[in-house]
Structure 1
Amino acid sequence: MNDQAPSTPADSAPEKISDIVAALCDGWEDDRISLDELLQAFGARSFGLLVLVFALPNGIPAPIAPGLSAILGAPLLLLSVQMLLGFSTPWFPASWRRRSFRRADVARLLRPALPYIIRIERYIRPRLSHLAGGDSSRLIGALVLWNAVLLSLPIPFGNLIPAWAIILIAIGQIERDGAIVIAGMAVSVIGAAWVWFLLDVGLALLERLFA
C-alpha cells in the first residue's frame, strides 16, 4: 500500500468539495487508497465527506457494477447510525480501515460526479447553519440512514434518487448550508415515493406472472 495520503492533510485541505474529490481521483493509477488514509485526510469533516464519497457512485445516472449499491450502502448505514447516536468522529472496524482500493477504481467511480458537484457549488453558501450541524446532526444521521436503507434495497433504478438525497444532505452539512440540507430532505421524500412506486409495480408484475 502506498504510504502517501490521497489528498492534502486536514489542516490544509482544499476548501471546495470538488477539489477534495478531484484530489482522490488524481495520481498514479496503481496507487492504493485505504479507508484509514481517508479518515486522516478528511480530519474534522470526516463524517460528511465519507458519506459523500460512498454515496457519489450511486448518484451517477449510468450503469454500475451489480451489487455495488449494497456494498457502498454498508458503510453509509454504519456512518449514519453513528451520526444518529451522536458520535464525534467516525468509527470503523480495523479490518475495514486497512482495506485499500486502487486509485484508478476510485477515480472511475467518483470522477463522473465532479461536474454535478461543481454545479451545486455555485449555489452553496453558509446559511441556516442551525440545520446543517450542531443539534441537527442527529436529524441528518436519521435522514442519511433512511436513504441508505432505500439505496441498499435490490430494486432496479431505485438507488439514484436516495443517493442524491444523501449527496445533498452531506454537501449541506460539510458547507454548513441548511438550504441544501432542506433540498436533500425534499429529495428524500421523492426518493421514498419513487421506491414505493417501483415496489408496487414490481409486486403487481409478479402477481400477474404467477397468477
Structure 2
Amino acid sequence: MNDAAMTPGEAPGHDEDTAPISRIVAEVAATFPGERITLGDMAEAFGDRAFGMLSLLLLLPGLLPGMASVFGTPLLILGVQMGLGYRVPKLPKVLARQSVKRSDLLRLAGASSRGLKRIERWIRPRPGFFTSKAGERIIGWLTAYVAIMLILPGPGTNGPPAFGNIVMALGLIEHDSKVTGIGVALTVAGCAFATAILVAIGWLGVAAVGWFF
C-alpha cells in the first residue's frame, strides 16, 4: 500500500481476500501514520463517514473483557448526535484528544475480522431504508443504547450488543442497507439480552437487601 498516495477521504481498493474491517483500519492507519491516532483527527478526516468509522473503532474493544466501559462515553455522544441528525460528529475537546495506539487498532482489527468473516463477505453498497436519514437516526439511537450497556457493569453484557453494533457500523460505512438491517436485528437482540441480565442483577440486589434488612 502506498501511504503517500492516499487521501483522508479515499478508501483503499477492495480486495476479495481483505475483510472490510481490515480495509477500513488500513485506511485509518495509512491516513495517520503516527504511533497514536486521536478521535478528533479521525472525525475531521473522514467527514460524513466519521460516525461509522469512529463507532467501529470504539466498538472493537467492546469484544474484549474489561475494555468496553472505557469507550462507552464517546460512543454514547456519537450515538446521540447521529440520532439527532448530525451529519458529522462534534466531539468535546476532552474526547477529541483521546487517542488509540496504531498497533492496538491493527491487532483488534485482525481479531474482529476473523469473527465476522461470514458477514463481511456479503458487504457491498446497497441503498435502502437504513442508508436514509431516518434509518441513520435509528442507528444512532441504537448506538446510544449500546453505549449505555457498555458503561453499565454486568457479566456478559458487553459482547452481544457490541457485536451487533459493529455489524451496523460496517453497513453504515459501506452504505449497505441490508447488512445494516442485519446489524440492527443483532443489536436489538444483544441489547435485550444485556438488559435482561442487568434487570436480573438489579432485582437480585434489591432482594438481597430485603433479606438482610
Fold agreement, TM-score > 0.5: yes
Partner residue, 2:156: 157
Q: Which residue of 1 aligns with 2:166?
A: 167
| Aligned mates of 1:198, 1:170 — CA distance in 2 | 25
Contact kept, 8 Å, 2:40 with 2:91, in 1: the verdict is: no
The alignment yields a C-alpha RMSD, in angstroms, of: 3.1
Q: What SS is found at the alignment partner of 1:10?
A: coil
SS state at 1:12 partner = coil
d(CA) in 1 for partners of 2:29, 2:113: 10
Q: Deviation of residue 146 (structure 1)? A: 1.8
- Count of aligned pairs between the two proteins: 202
Distance verdict in 2 for CA 1:20–1:181, change over 3 Å: closer
Which residues of structure 1 form unaligned runs of 5+? Answer: none
CA distance in 2, matches of 1:142, 1:120: 23
CA contact (8 A) 1:10 1:44 kept: no
Mark the CA change 1:175 to 1:190 in structure 2 (over 3 Å): closer, same or farther.
Answer: same
Q: Indicate the residue corresponding to 1:11 in structure 2.
A: 9
Q: Go from structure 1 to structure 2 and tell me whether the alpha carbon gap of 1:98 and 1:188 turns closer, same or farther (over 3 Å shift).
A: closer
Q: 2 CA distance for matches of 1:101 and 1:140? A: 24
Structure 2 counterpart of 1:39, which letter? A
TM-score by length of 2: 0.78
Structure 1 residues 19 and 195, CA gap change in structure 2 (3 angstroms): same
* Residue 204 of structure 1: how far off its partner (Å): 5.9
**Residue pair 1:45, 1:174 contacting (<8 A) in 2 also:** yes
Hey, what's the Cα distance between the residues in 2 that align with 1:187 and 1:41?
29
- State TM-score, norm by structure 1: 0.79
1:23–1:182 Cα change, 3 Å:
closer
SS in 1 for 2:46: helix
* Residues 166-197 of structure 1: per-residue CA shift (max 9 Å, x gap): 11111122222222122122212321331233
Distance 1:88 1:54 in 2: 19
* Cα distance in 2 between the residues matched to 1:164 and 1:112: 13
Over the matched positions of the two proteins, sequence identity in percent amounts to 35
Residue pair 1:133, 1:173 contacting (<8 A) in 2 also: no
CA offset at residue 143 of structure 1? Answer: 1.5
- In 1: Cα distance, 2:100 partner to 2:172 partner: 26
Distance 1:85 1:72 in 2: 20
